Structure 1
Amino acid sequence: MPSDAPTTPRAGDALLLVDVQNDFLPGGNLAVSHGDEIIPPLNRLIQSFSRRSLPIFATRDWHPPQHCSFHEQAGPWPPHCVAGTQGAAFPANLALPHDTAIVSKATTVDQDAYSGFGGTELHYQLRGAGARRLFVGGLATDYCVLNTVRDAVAKGYEVLLLTDAVRAVDVQPGDGDRAVDEMQKLGASLIASAQVAD
């Protein structure tokens, strides 16, 4: 269960949005059920962090057309988030400020990356921004969010998982719940976006 204690973003905090992209939203090539429901709480957090001049990071899949994760290359997924396409874009109603740090991952044909830290400069960028505590939301709970949180904890960040701002693929029923349990066992705290001060 999420903690009920209110939390105020402060120096050393960063908001990390994981793969909130059109192809993962309803109507996309790899849609996460109810994925669009995370956008209102994320927008509220974006405003809260922006008002405090705290850093905001957004990861994205940015795949070449023949990416190894696609069915045609014997991968597990349909083609999605091909670099430069509308499917790879952030949704128009996600209110990312102009100074959001965009982190592209899985950008080569032969390498996949579920974690935002996988083959990217995210760790160095977070350290450069002075981030020690990460507020994490995005898609999908049981894949890219889980792996990003695993790596964040392993690298020494305190992680607050925004429970109402994540949704799961649930290839196997309950995958999302199991992912949340794992993240909590790793040391992530569970928090609802409404507990974060405006």
Structure 2
Amino acid sequence: MAGQGLIHGPLGDNALHLCVDMQRLFAPGEPWAVPWAPKVLPAIVELTSRNAERTLFTRFIPAAEPGGGPGSWARYYRRWADVTLSRIDPSLIDLMPELARFAPPAKLLDKRVYSPWTEGQLDVMLGGSSVDALVITGGETDVCVLATVLGAIDRGFRVVLVTDAICSSADQTHDALMELYHSRFSEQVETVRLQDVLDGWR
């Protein structure tokens, strides 16, 4: 689905590029490979290269041991025991190399659940800042990006979702989410192409 453009006007110093979980863990050949990740990576690199000091990368950190985590997360990490920290190469947690070179000046935020908001660190990082718009990229459309978008909406941020810079493992649910944003969140989510952001963020 094509982007709608920056319908609420250009972006400025109050915008932050929030890139979700573009880590080696999700690269081709790795335990949680996201097939689309290499396709969207160049767009994310392009956006980051122009706004590295206005970029924040999140990283998903698995449980330390199989069965770790509260409640249903324990069951989740029994199912995904081979992706716990005790069993994987620690470097898989790192950003993909094409993006790691931007941090610093880009900032990092580690999280242990899908949403970057739940553990409170992102609220602290943004508290007292002038940021009121989030330009969101990364993966996956229907999991961690979704959790990021919904938390941003709840907090009243302007949400700009870059359609050619987000990725999923499943076309069907990616497409369903894009339709959802258009039909149910049209006042709160702007779906845009990368070029719209590059042209509209001065």
Q: Scaled by the length of structure 1, what TM-score is found?
A: 0.82
Pair 1:104–1:39, CA change in 2 (3 A)? same
Whole-angstrom CA distance in 2 between matches of 1:125 and 1:197 = 25
CA contact (8 A) 1:105 1:119 kept: yes
Please list, as runs of the form range in 1=range in 2, the aligned pairs for 1:54-133 lying within 5 A after superposition. 55-66=54-65, 67-68=68-69, 69=73, 73-75=77-79, 77=80, 79-80=82-83, 82=85, 85-94=90-99, 95-106=101-112, 113-133=113-133
CA shift digits 1:1-47 (9 cap, x unpaired) = 31245975412100000000011121111011121222211111112
CA shift digits 1:60-117 (9 cap, x unpaired) = 1122322444777444x464373981211111111424122211111xxxxxx11111
Task: Give the secondary-structure state (helix, strand or coil) at the position aligned to 1:103.
Answer: strand
CA contact (8 A) 2:64 2:84 kept: no
Match of 1:49? 51
Percent identity of equivalent pairs: 22
Residue correspondences, number:
186
Runs (5+) with no aligned partner, structure 2: none
Q: Scaled by the length of structure 2, what TM-score is found?
A: 0.81
Deviation of the 1:48 alpha carbon: 2.1
Where relative contact order (Cα < 8 A, 6+ residues apart) is larger, the structure is 2
Whole-angstrom CA distance in 1 between matches of 2:121 and 2:10 = 27
CA contact (8 A) 1:16 1:57 kept: yes
Runs (5+) with no aligned partner, structure 1: 107-112
Q: Which has the larger radius of gyration?
A: 2
Runs of 4+ in 1 over 3 A off after TM superposition: 4-9, 67-75, 77-84
Pair 1:72–1:15, CA change in 2 (3 A)? closer
The structure carrying a bigger helix percent of its residues is 2
CA RMSD of aligned residues (A): 2.5
CA shift digits 1:124-179 (9 cap, x unpaired) = 21233321011000011110001110110011001000101111122xx6111112
Matched AA of 1:152: A
CA contact (8 A) 1:133 1:159 kept: yes
